[in-house]
Amino acid sequence: MNLLVILAIIAAWIGLRFLKANSLAWAAGIWVGLYVGLSYGINPPLPSSILSMFMAIITLALVTYLTAGNDRMKEMADTIVTFVVDKRYTGALIGVLIALPLLVSFKVYLNMTQAPEPPISGRTIHPVPPNTITVNGSPFNIVEGHNPYRELESSDPDAFALHLENGRRVYYQNCVFCHGDNMEGDGQFAHGLDPIPANFQDATTIAMLQESYLYWRVAKGGPGLPSESTPWLSAMPAWENFLTEEEMWDVIMFLYDYTGQRPRVSEEVH
C-alpha cells in the first residue's frame, strides 16, 4: 500500500464533493482516481494486463451508471452540449480537440516502446489437498488425520517440549536457509527464489491451515503440488526424502510455537 497516493486520491474526491461536481465530473474523477490508485497505490504493482482488465470493468460500470437514469442521462448530455455549443467555452473546446489526439498519440507511443513483459504465471497459493497421501510408505488421511503429538501439549508438557526442541533443530538445519531466522520467508537464499518462500508470521499462511495440511506440504513439497500451483517453479523440497515422519511433525509444531500462531482445527460435526 502506498498510503500517500491513496490519501491524495481521497483528498481529491473530498474536493469534488465540496465543489458540488455534477455526475460527469464525478465519473471522470472516480475513473482517474481508481486508475492512479491501482497504478501507483499498491505494492507490488499490478501487471499492466490486469490493470487494463480492471479499468475496462470500471469504465463499463461508470458508463452504465451515467446512462442508467433519464435525469442523469439528461444532466450528462446537457453538460456536454453546453460545453460544445456555448461560446464562453470555445477556447477550452479547441484545447480539448487538440489535446485529445495528442494524448492518444502519446499512449500509442508508450504502448509501442514499453519493455516487453515476461508471461505471468498465476498460481494458487493454498491448493486443495488430496484426501490421502502416502508418506514413506505409510498412508495418511489429510481430511481426517491429525498430528499424533499435538495432544502431548496438554497431556505431557515435558514430552511436548522435547518435540519442540527437536523441531527447532530440524528447522535450523533444513528450513532456515529459505524461510529465515524469524520465519518471515526471508532466509539467505530467498532473494534467488521465485516464488518466494512462505512467510509463517503472516496471518494468511499457517494460522489458517490445519496441521495435516502442513504435513502434506512438508512431506510432498513443490513436486507434490497440483498443476494450478506451478509445481515446476517451487523450491520447496519433498521432505519425506530427508526427514522422518516424527521430525516433520516436530518442525510443524515448532513453526506454530515460534510464531505464536495456533493451527486451525476442524470443527466437530455432530
- The residues that touch another protein, with contacts defined as CB under 8 A, are 80-82, 84-87, 93, 96-98, 100-102, 104-106, 108-109, 112-113, 116, 118-119, 168-169, 171-173, 176-178, 180-182, 186-189, 191-194, 221-223, 227, 230-233, 235-237, 241-242, 258
Q: How far is CA 77 from CA 30, 69, 81, in A?
A: 19, 12, 6
What minimum distance in Å lies between the beta carbon of 64 and another protein?
A: 21
**Cα 52 from chain centroid (whole Å):** 18
Q: Which is nearer to another protein, 210 or 259 (CB)?
A: 259
Q: Which is nearer to another protein, 191 or 270 (CB)?
A: 191
What minimum distance in Å lies between the beta carbon of 94 and another protein?
A: 10
b vs e for 8-43, b when ≥16 Cβ sit within 10 Å of the residue's Cβ?
bbeeeeeebeeeeeebbebbebbbebbbebbeebee
Q: Which is nearer to another protein, 227 or 266 (CB)?
A: 227
Q: Which is nearer to another protein, 145 or 195 (CB)?
A: 195
What minimum distance in Å lies between the beta carbon of 1 and another protein?
A: 19
What minimum distance in Å lies between the beta carbon of 121 and another protein?
A: 8
